[in-house]
Structure 1
Amino acid sequence: MYHWEREVDPVLSIECLDPVPPKPRLAPEEILRRIGEMAKLPRRKTDLYYPMQNGVKDRVGFNVFEPVRYPGALVKQTYWPACFQLEDDEALIIETEIPARAPYWNVQLNDPYFNALEYVYRLSSTNGAMARLSSDGKFRAVIALTDPGVPNWLDPAGYNEGGIYGRWYDCDSEPVPTITRVRLAELRSHLPEDTPVVTPAERSEEIRRRVAACQRRRRW
């Protein structure tokens, strides 16, 4: 589901053609075993994802993207993770070219522990179907703790540090975005002159529509 407001998730059902007997009643011992396995999941995921995010910071530091491609089922997808850092009175400008063929791309913010930030009531993510490109065809997003009044605000939900995860899927090129750290008061001098102003009323409407769209979107 690329454009949350305009698209509707498909509903699929898989029917087994062979006879399927009713599920048997679980014995108490089996219930306890399954609960034990379920309790291990948060630890396994923490052991996997936390080092991934810390690894980026250890290798390239803050505010630098480190593209990575995984084998297997994700071979068509290139990720561009980074660890962001900014002060309350600063902003981070993410800038990139967009591939000529780009079936799907997105960018989202995570907290320092690799949890996705609140994305229903906050503008902590965007994608190729919802983002607004600059007049020169580039994508520019701004991470700032307060609304900077420009398109593609990525709200870090009060975090001065966290993670960024972007994706190019099956694109004909894989540009590496840049991050520029600037004073929030000087933000517009680092953006194209024709960058639109997003008023508080327009931002409120943007979030209202996002909330309504998320209510129809499948939650994973």
Structure 2
Amino acid sequence: MRAFAPILAGFFVQQVWATKPAVVVSGATGRTGSLVYKDLKATGQYEVRAFVRNATKAKAVLGCTSCNETEGIFVGDVSEPETLKAVMAGADTLVITTSSVPVCTGSLPFPMKKCHYPKGGEPKEVDWLGTKAQIDAFGFSGGSMATKQLLYVSTMGTTTPDNFLDKLDKGWTSFYHLQAEADVMSSGIPFTIAA
């Protein structure tokens, strides 16, 4: 996961920037998002913004103090598109690491555990429609679409129908990530998809 900063650096080789490029990391308090956020912050080459659902969790995971917009921490929800406007304003790059997370119980190995998605946190809402909302907000945030960059962290199995991730709580996780990948590819924004 430490490879994200070099990937983004490759995006910017072709650009000439008067100021540090603004990079939004959505899902910045998640496992992947926190690594990306911290890695980019450590370079000192970017204005890094975190889009999170909870400032208290951001304080614990990201180490922010006030955990608000003055520190580049923006609180919102991908299912509420109006909360995406402020973080996307003037952004050059969007790194989408948001993902639905099943809640699993039992002592069986992972694929056989009993799992469910919390209400509002289902794959359709988060992985597909939430990604679509982020792409739309980013695309309409100003600036040239040709100079923007989009990095979407997807999931495995998007080309394998009815896989074990799809069967978890019948959430169709891989299927909805595949729909999101299609939205990324048709956005008109230069993109990279990582799985």
Higher fraction of helix: 2
TM-score between the two structures when normalised by the length of structure 2: 0.25
Higher relative contact order (CA 8 A, sep 6+): 1
- Per residue, is there more strand in 1 or in 2? 1
Greater C-alpha radius of gyration: 1
